[in-house]
Structures are given as C-alpha cells and as structure tokens.
A and B are shown apart, each in its own frame.
Chain A
Amino acid sequence: MSADRTSLLRRLALVATGCAALLAAGQAAAQATFVILNNNSPGIGFNDPTPATPVGGNTGTTLGQQRQIAAQHAANIWGANLSSPVPIYIGAQFTALTCTETSAVLGSAGATSSQRNFVGAPFADTWYPVALRNKLVGMEASPGAAQITMNFNANLGTPGCLPASPWYLGLDNNAPPGHINLVVVLLHEFAHGLGFAVSPTNGSTGARSSLSPSIWERFMFDNVTGLTWFQMTSNAQRAASSIAVDKLAWQGSNVVAAAPSVLRQGIATLGIAGKPVSNPRDVTAGEASFGAPFSATPFTGEVMPVVDQANGTGLACTPLSAANARAVSGKVALVDRGTCNFVIKANNVRAAGAIGMIVVDNVAAALPPNIGGSDPGITFPMASLRQVDGQALRADLQRRSRTSSGVFATFKLTGTQLAGADLAGRVKLFTPNPFQGGSSVSHWDTTAFRHQLMEPAINGDLTQSVVPPIDLTVPLFQDIGW
C-alpha cells in the first residue's frame, strides 16, 4: 500500500468513524506513547459497526471499537515499560486473511524499516529497527510514518474460518478455552516490531542486508564457536549457528542479570531409591507441559509399572485392567512412550488411582523427551526418562508384589542451572534443526521455564507482564538500546 493511499485511508477512517478522539484517549500516560493508526476503510476492521457486548474489561460496544481498545491496550503495555521521547506509530488494520475450518493466518507484524549510521548511533554500520532509532535520536526518521505495521484476521471465528475459535477481545487475560487472546498475540507481534528479531539479517542463511549486521547480532553467543554472530566472519558460520540445537544464547547483560529472577533454578530430576534398588541414584528427567510442574518442594511416590504388552511393558493407551489398576492405585505409574498421546496415558492411569506418572522413552536418545499435551484435569506430577534409564528402573522393579515394589521415585530439582539458560546463565535462543522460518533464532528457546512471551509458540499460561520476575522481553530490549 502506498504512503499516499495509507494516509488517505487513515483520514477517511478517522472521519468516518469519529474514532480519532477514542484513539487519542487510549494513549497511555506512559514512558513511551504508542499511537495506533487506523488503516481500515469505513465499515470494516477497526471500523466494523457490528454491535458487541463489553467483555473482560473491554468497554467497546461495537466490534471495531473493541478491536481498537484491545490493540491500544497491548500497545500501552509496551508504552508503560519502554521509554521514548517521540511517539511510536503502529499502522494497523484488520482484513480478511487466509483461513479454513481448522487453520488460519492470525496476522502479521513487524518493523517497517531499519536504519544505520544515524547521528548518535551506539554502533556504526549496524541496523537498528526504526522505533529504536527514533528513541535514540530523539526525533522521528519520517514524522508521522508507521514504525510498526500490523494486519490481523478480521474473519476469525466466522463460518469457514476457525468458527469455534474467535478472537477474545477482553483485556483481562481470561480467554475461554479455544478462543484466541488478541492482546497476548499483539504483545508478541508488537515485540517483533520493536526489535525482537534478527532481521534484516537473514536468520537462515546468515546473510546481512547490505553487509551490515543487525544490533541483535551483537548479543547472539554461539557456545560451539565461542563467537557472537557479529564476530563471525562468514554467512556459513551464522547459518550453522542457526541450527546448532541448544547452543545459541543471548549474552546481553540485562537479560543475564534478570534471568535468575525469572527462570526456574534447577534441573528436573528423578531420585530413584528404596530397598530393592542396589544403586540409589539421581537421573535427569523430562518435564510435562501439563500436570503439576517440578518445584522446589520434592514429591515422592512408590513406583509400579503398567503391564499391558506381551513383552512386559505397558502403554496405558486403553483403560487399565483390574490387575493394573490395583497395581498403580496410590502409586506412581510407570508406562512406555508410544501408540497414543501422553494425555491419554495420563488419564488412564489417573482413572486407576495413580498419583503420578513416569514415561519411558521408546527410542534411544541423548535427553528424555518432553511430555507434551494439555489437560487441566491432570494435576499430578509427571516425568519422562531416557530409554536406558527406564530399563534400569524396570530392572529395579523385578522383585515386586502385585501391589507394591518398594522402589520410590522423588520428583525434584537439582543444581543451579536455570531452565532455558546455558551453564553461564545466558538465556538460550530457539535453534531447532532443521531451521524453522520465523521461529528459529528470533525467539527464546522452548526449554525456558517459566514460559516466556517471546517463545515461538504462544503458551496458554502467559500473563500480560513483559518484565521480570515474569518475563525477559524488556531486559532484552534494554540490551539492544531501549
């Protein structure tokens, strides 16, 4: 869309809806002023006149008004936590984006430009996102122009477009199950526009735009080479780093200093002990995305296996037999990975009265798998073990009765390493192999716990806080110059 056309639409929209006062009133008395520029034409998007019932603190009475209020609310959260002497303009619209009954593009956002070698730039020949450049200079590069652009799906929740999953437009972070919390999605996407991204450097190829690094590169520390991306001398080095699983981390001092107050300390561990155990030991455990998390308060339970396979293992993919139910009732059920998902296994052992679950991996791997899934009805602790550790535990369980083993597992945290950080306390960036366009490099790693706003997938337990002790986004922004 051309600048002229954008300007015309903006004027038309404001005149047509009379929303100029509303938008102005929505600006927070904050350290930075965020202004949402309504790019929608009359009658659509931010100007949709469809009546709406106020929800979750959003007082708008039309769909358009509620969208405006939600967008401004998200912008104001950033405004309250960042400082800039000049306004930050967000060119915004809701339009029809691609979707089906089961999937959809929710929206897109990003910085509209990058600048280098501006007056007072902290580093020469380095690209900065325009909103940060404006803050550092104290003057807009292009007065009144959008520094961030956003375009979100106007049809979400309508027939043919994820009909059961509309936007939740409330401001209270209380989206019903299946609804998409617009404020949280906007917080995440605005952060990309404010500079939470490696661009304009290409995260996959490592290629720099016009041979200059982005400010982000100075803080990306590769634990394999001992170099930052800025220090690397070739695109190939950066490309290799972008798929170095578990090895790329953020070395900015503000994030490193804040991480201990945000991320959980200690590695998930199962302590195996009891009379039949010849070698009491601690083994590294995989964690679950549902159920009771590992905490500083250890949980101990007697372990009993589920046996529903001919080879003596147990999948727990169907309701447990009477014998298995008697065995695991009041115990921590030991099951094997495979055939069905973890939620089904957890529900089957819970229905039999188990008080916890340990899943043994069904393939040899360096680390135990995470137990993915979601079920708020599961409240007991769960852990996974590497295949080799699971086999050792099964050996300990050989001399059990039908209802008792004498083998106990303690779910606990050990050591001082932060969940989602390397040994030096640098918070890890997401670097799966193969590279995942849009996710890799420009997000925190998914091992971070507590979950972070800027992980690649938006987790259901996010709050609207963007600062410690909840979130590390603002410390990262401080590192790059905000």
Chain B
Amino acid sequence: MNRLTLLAAGALALAGAAAQAQVVVRDAQTGQLRAPNAAEMQQLEVARQLRDRANRGVLSGKLNPQPVRMPGGEDSLEHTEAMMNYSVVVTLPGGRLVRQCVADMAMAERVARGEMPSFAKSMQERLNER
C-alpha cells in the first residue's frame, strides 16, 4: 500500500463512512489517483480498524485514554492496545520457528498474515543464520 493510500485511510478514520467518497489511491501501475476498488477499500478498513483498536484503552475501551486525577492527587493512565507486547512466531526458510516480541499491533498482524516477508528475512539476518 503506498503512502497516499495510507493518508486516505487516515481520512477515513477521521471522517467515518461519509468520507468514503473522498478516498483515493495511487494506482501502482499508472501512478494516477483513482477510486479504490473493493479489495483496496477492505484493506483500508482493516487498517482503520487496527488503528482504532490500537488506541483504545484495554479496560474501558475508550479511545485515546488520558491520565485521570484520583482522590488524593494520584494520576492513573489506562494503557491502550498499542502499549501491549505482542508475541509472534514465524517459520524461517528451512523450517525453524522463531518467536519474537513485537510491540506494534499492526506489525504483529501483518507478520502473522505473511505480509512481511522482510520480517522473516531480517530475523534470519539478525540471527546470522548464514
């Protein structure tokens, strides 16, 4: 997904469904802006939902929770999904399984969907397997 597409997803997140008519993507082959097809819209929606989920409090579900002043002057900051630690497992070439901590929820999802072959490659390089 190119940069413009991501920007479009941001617009979706801000303006909701009403903004869908304004969403454009840059065609990878022609370089021209155009309306997204159904598959691209679905990708954008998945990305939007992931961002939305990442910024919600893990207890209250509130978006972007802020510190709350408690009686006695104590502050409490609810953590978001984005602050969780994710554990992913990837099969390296040759069949070896590697488990790795990943804090970025979107990255964890992409790794698990096999959309980041570069992750497995970098893991292999970091592990100096060849």
Nearest Cβ distance between residue B67 and chain A, in whole angstroms? 5
Find residues 200-217 in chain A having any chain B CB closer than 8 Å to their own CB: 200, 203, 209-210
Find out whether the CB atom of B88 lies under 8 angstroms from the CB atom of A106: yes
Chain B residues whose C-beta falls within 8 Å of the C-beta of A457 in the assembled complex:
98-101, 123, 127
Find out whether the CB atom of A109 lies under 8 angstroms from the CB atom of B85: yes
Find out whether the CB atom of B67 lies under 8 angstroms from the CB atom of A210: yes
Is the C-beta of B84 less than 8 angstroms from some C-beta in chain A?
yes
- Tell me which of B7-15, B16-24, B25-33, B72-80 binds A: B72-80
Find out whether the CB atom of B75 lies under 8 angstroms from the CB atom of A117: yes
Interface size for A (C-beta < 8 A) is 69
Chain A residues whose C-beta falls within 8 Å of the C-beta of B114 in the assembled complex:
100, 102-103
Chain B residues whose C-beta falls within 8 Å of the C-beta of A105 in the assembled complex:
86-88, 108-109, 111-112
Is the C-beta of B59 less than 8 angstroms from some C-beta in chain A?
yes
Chain A residues whose C-beta falls within 8 Å of the C-beta of B128 in the assembled complex:
342, 369-372
Of A112, A141, A370, A443, most buried by chain B (CB within 10 Å of CB) is A112
Chain A residues whose C-beta falls within 8 Å of the C-beta of B123 in the assembled complex:
457
Nearest Cβ distance between residue A154 and chain B, in whole angstroms? 14
Is the C-beta of A15 less than 8 angstroms from some C-beta in chain B?
no
Find out whether the CB atom of A117 lies under 8 angstroms from the CB atom of B130: no
- Complex Cα distance, B114 from A103, in Å, reads 7
Nearest Cβ distance between residue B109 and chain A, in whole angstroms? 5
Find out whether the CB atom of A145 lies under 8 angstroms from the CB atom of B59: yes
Known A105-B112, A113-B59; contact A210-B89, beta-carbon cutoff 8 A: no
CB-contact partner of B76 in A100, A113, A442, under 8 A: A113
Chain B residues whose C-beta falls within 8 Å of the C-beta of A443 in the assembled complex:
101
Known A98-B109, A113-B79; contact A373-B129, beta-carbon cutoff 8 A: yes
Contact residues of B: prevailing secondary structure:
mixed
Is the C-beta of A278 less than 8 angstroms from some C-beta in chain B?
no
Find out whether the CB atom of A112 lies under 8 angstroms from the CB atom of B91: no
Chain B residues whose C-beta falls within 8 Å of the C-beta of A118 in the assembled complex:
72, 74
Nearest Cβ distance between residue B111 and chain A, in whole angstroms? 6
- Complex Cα distance, B97 from A112, in Å, reads 30
Is the C-beta of A321 less than 8 angstroms from some C-beta in chain B?
no
- Complex Cα distance, B79 from A399, in Å, reads 66
Chain B residues proximal to chain A, CB less than 8 Å: 58-61, 66-67, 70, 72-79, 81, 83-91, 94, 96-105, 107-109, 111-114, 120, 123-124, 126-130
Known pairs A107-B86, A109-B84, A442-B101; list 18 more (Cβ under 8 Å).
A2-B60, A103-B114, A103-B120, A105-B108, A105-B112, A109-B85, A113-B59, A117-B75, A118-B72, A119-B74, A141-B76, A162-B89, A210-B77, A372-B128, A438-B101, A457-B99, A458-B87, A458-B99
Jot down 11 A-B pairs with beta carbons below 8 A, ordered by A: A98-B108, A108-B85, A110-B83, A141-B76, A192-B101, A342-B128, A371-B128, A373-B129, A437-B104, A438-B101, A457-B101
